[in-house]
Structure formats: structure tokens, C-alpha cells
Amino acid sequence: MQTDTPWSTLPAREHLLAAAVDAAGAPVLDVVVPVYNEEKDLEPCVLRLHDHLTRTFPYPFRITVADNASTDRTPQVADRLAAVIPQVRSYRLEEKGRGRALRTVWSHSDSPVLAYMDVDLSTDLNALLPLVAPLISGHSDLAIGSRLSRSSRVVRGSKREFISRSYNLILRSSLSARFSDAQCGFKAIRREVAERLLPMVEDTGWFFDTEMLVLAERAGLRIHEVPVDWVDDPDSTVHIVRTATDDLKGVWRVGRALATGALPLDRLARPFGDDPRDRGVPGVPGGLARQLVGFCVVGALSTLVYLALYSLFRLGTGPQVANGAALLVSAVANTAANRRLTFGVRGRGGSVRHQAQGLVVFAIGLALTSGSLAALDTASGSPSHGTELAVLIAANLAATVLRFLLFRAWVFPDRRTDHPGDRPGAAHAPRDAR
């Protein structure tokens, strides 16, 4: 994975002011059309797109034809269009790959909003303004067209429908993706986000979109989805089997990188206070509300895992051994989940120390729960399984409160220090970033 991105966090999202845009002289929107051997479809596509933007888009725009090493007359058609239409630019690459084309053109563009669409224009262009509007307004970081939204209208064969839905199901189950359609060739991104996100994206082909979206989502960037009307192109030259194979390899590679903390996603974080959820609550220390929510969610799931393991281990051993084994397994998972999700610590640095400290917290919880079981046994002799579970739940509630306090104050303390001139809510360097 490539990680040569700037260190500082992203600036706060702001609305693109018309006066500032006019002063910069660059078009607000740069729409890239990646092509490979599209000499027949390229000119109708560009003329139709140009006409639509001229009639409906209220800001200056540019259309960039990104030629992926075509071997037919596509470069000549692109050059002719660029010579005739002022808003059209032609860009030639000597290597194939849609991802490579998008990365190259977006990296060199001076427009604050970058988009792309397929040359077949399968997506209805009426969705273009809704796609880029949240990026212009500063509401979102990326925007994607979705063919799988309930309000989308899609015309395509059952084979492609099955493949698309199966692929997105794989993304949801393996990478915990929450966006609905990774493969629709209709996406946009703010330039400052692209500058830091694209160097982390390794794929240069069709998996480029998916990798970009997964990393953006894991970094906490806001992805806006637009329902689109889409008509399948029966003459598409996409090799379905080879593309699917490459995509699955990409899913494995990205999943492994995320699991090992190999990507510095901290560098894509927005400054604290940019999101309304970050706004301070009087009397509540910064970040406490979010940490409480995350800790409660992780704790609830850990408790379910613990109770299931206890019931399983209890089938073959006594209550004390079953309790200790179940609590140990769930404690390791709980520490790892809280480290990443609740307290936002990324990367492998300090993970061993955190787990060691987590085991100390585990020992305290073990003492509480084991002591409760011992007291129950002394009081009632041979308690029922249901009574044991009830006592364990009560003991775990007490242990949970203590666990949160220890996690926040000792295992994952906020080591950020204020600097002169810092304002409340200002961004600080991410902790434990590597």
C-alpha cells in the first residue's frame, strides 16, 4: 500500500464561494471521461455532456477526455474535440487502466470538484448536478451514483444485476462497507480529499473505485449517494470474469491492510468540530459523549459474545473455569475493538502494551465476576444456570463502568497537549499515528 500522503489533517469543509472561484480562474467542476478505443462513442458522448452542462450547470466546467493508450482513432477524435470546444481537454496516457487515468488526471486538475463518468453515458445526466452539489456546498467529501437505491430506475440484464448485487454483498460482509454501489461509473470527489486519498489507493484498474470508497469510509469521510436512472450498454467491452477476479484480489489486499493497520487513515481525518456530532456539550469533556456511545456498543456486543462463550464452556467444565475462559477471549476482542472504534487509535504502534493493560483490566473484571459467583455459591449452594447468568450480568455491569474509566484514564489516555493560540475544538495531530 502506498502511504506517501501529507501529514496534516484535512481542512474543514467549506462552501465554494462564487467570488473566490471566479478569482481563481479554474473551472469549478472537472468531469473526466476515461476511454479506451472509443472512436465511435466518444464524440456523441462529449457533445451530449457539453450541451447538458451548458444548459444546466451554474458554474464554469471542464470536460477532460482521458485516453487509456487507445490503439484506434480515439486520440485524434479527442484532440479534434478539444480544438473545437473551449471547455474540452484531451489527456493521453501510454498505459491502460481506468484507475490510473483517474488518478493521473485528478492529481493534475486545478478544479475544486472532480468527477468522472463512463463514455457510454448509461447514467442519466440529470443526476450530475445532484451528484456534485453536496461537494460544492461543503456538505460531503465524495459522492457516488447508486443503481441499487430503491428510487433508482435501472434497465439491465439479470446476469449483470446478479453480479453487481453479489459484489456489493461481498463488500458489506468482508470490508463492512456501508455504501450501496461501488461499481457505478458516476462519482465525484473534492480536490483536497483527492490529494490525500489517491496516493493511498493502489489499484489502477476497475477496483480503483471500490478501494477509494472503502478507505474514505474507514477514515470517516462523508460519502453522499445519489439514486440514478441507468440503462445497460449492451456493447460494453468490460471483461466480466477478469474484472471480478481482480476485484476479489483487491478485496483481500485492502482487507488485509485494514486489519493490520498498514494505512495511515488518520491523515484523512477532518478537524474536530467540523462534524455537528463533534460539537461540545456544556460540562462534558471533548470526545466523552462519542467514546461513551462507542464503548456501550462494543460492550453490548462483547457481553453477548461472553455469555455465549460462557454457556458453551459451561457444558464441559465448572462455572469458574468457564467464566475465566469466556472473559479472557471476550476481553482481548473488547480491547482491540475499543482501541480502534471507541478511542480512535490506529496502527500497530502500542498495540501490545494496550493488550497487556487490557488484561489487567480483565483481571479486575475477573475478580468481580468470580467473586460474585463464589458469593452466590456460598449463599445458595447449587444455583440454577439462569441465576448464575443473572448474577454475572449484574457483576459485568459494575465491571463495565470500571473498565471504561480505566480505558479512558489509563489504557488509552488522551495525550494531546494544547499549544499557544489553539482554539477550543481545533484539530490536533492524531495520537499513535504511524
Give CA–CA dist 153/164, Å, rounded: 15
At 223, is the secondary structure helix, strand, or coil?
strand
Q: Find out whether 11 and 269 touch, Cβ atoms under 8 Å.
A: no
How far, in Å, are 51, 72, 78, 124, 428 from residue 87 at the CA level? 11, 24, 12, 21, 41
Give CA–CA dist 276/420, Å, rounded: 25
Write the CB contacts of 247 (distance below 8 Å, at least 6 apart in sequence): 167, 206, 207, 210
Give CA–CA dist 275/273, Å, rounded: 5
Give CA–CA dist 133/189, Å, rounded: 11
Which set of grid coordinates corresponds to residue 208? 480503483
Q: Is 209 a catalytic residue?
A: yes
Which one is catalytic: 141, 209, 266, 274? 209
Give CA–CA dist 112/110, Å, rounded: 7
At 88, is the secondary structure helix, strand, or coil?
strand
Write the CB contacts of 51 (distance below 8 Å, at least 6 apart in sequence): none
Q: Find out whether 153 and 229 touch, Cβ atoms under 8 Å.
A: yes
At 89, is the secondary structure helix, strand, or coil?
strand
Give CA–CA dist 181/183, Å, rounded: 6
Which set of grid coordinates corresponds to residue 340? 480502534
- Count other C-beta atoms under 10 Å from residue 53's C-beta: 20
The 113-117 sheet, strands edge to edge: 88-93, 61-68, 29-35, 113-117, 186-190, 142-146, 223-227
* Residues labelled catalytic: 209
